Amino acid sequence: MKKNPSKQKVINAASSLFYQKGFSGTSVRDIADKASVNVSLISYYFKSKQGLLEYAVTQYYEAYLKRMEEVWSQMEEGSSLDRLKQLVFEIIKYKQEHHQFSCFIHRELSLDSVFVREMAVTYLAKENYLISNAFQEALKSHRRKGLDAVFILLQLKGMLVTPYVMQNEWKDKVVGDYSHDVFVKKYVKTVHQWLDFLMAEKQAELKE
């Protein structure tokens, strides 16, 4: 489906302002001014600021989850570890492509709200399912049992969200598209190295 340029301009403006000022600190007038549109246009497309937020979150997560599913299905011939690594790359790449909104969403997820509970039911459960399955598949033949595997998976999930929960740590290092690309490559490389170390450690344990 072809995107509506005016509608997308409003979403982009809202994403930037939500990131900078938070949802409560941003008014519909602020969004309209930044997007250079009339307030009535926002009302026409989204009804309200809450409606705009819900639309933007839906757009973000549906595209995100679709990319995750496509990556996993397109690499059926590769090893489970290679597939997991590619999934990690696509997750960080997508979040970095939508950096400001990714940071905003992860900030909101740290709060207990109706918004968070709805997100957990609709999108976060599916994201968790995809990541967990990919990880368990990669560790199938040499994972530790019980809590140890749970803790390791928790570490991986933490790595996938850390740049967006602690965005102030990276704000001076990511400016412009080129630096975003560099960040993705370097950060993903670090996660891949951790996975390689994990696998090598487990394989050594099995030989003992």
Question: Where do the structural domains in the chain lie, given as residue ranges?
Answer: 1-47, 58-207
pLDDT band at 1 (very low <50, low <70, confident <90, very high): very low
Give the residue-averaged pLDDT of 140-157. 73
Q: Is the pLDDT of residue 72 over 90?
A: no
How high is the mean pLDDT of the chain? 85
User: Domain 1-47: which CATH class?
Assistant: mainly alpha
Q: Is the pLDDT of residue 6 over 90?
A: no
Give CATH for domain 58-207: 1.10.357
Q: Is the pLDDT of residue 136 over 50?
A: yes
Is there a common fold for 1-47 and 58-207? no
* CA–CA separation, 21 and 183 (whole Å): 24
80-97 and 125-138 helices, crossing angle to 10°? 150
Q: Are 6 and 17 spatial neighbours (Cβ–Cβ below 8 Å)?
A: no
Q: Is the pLDDT of residue 202 over 70?
A: no
Q: What is the pTM of this model?
A: 0.87
Tokens describing residue 140: 């199938």
Q: Are 161 and 107 spatial neighbours (Cβ–Cβ below 8 Å)?
A: no
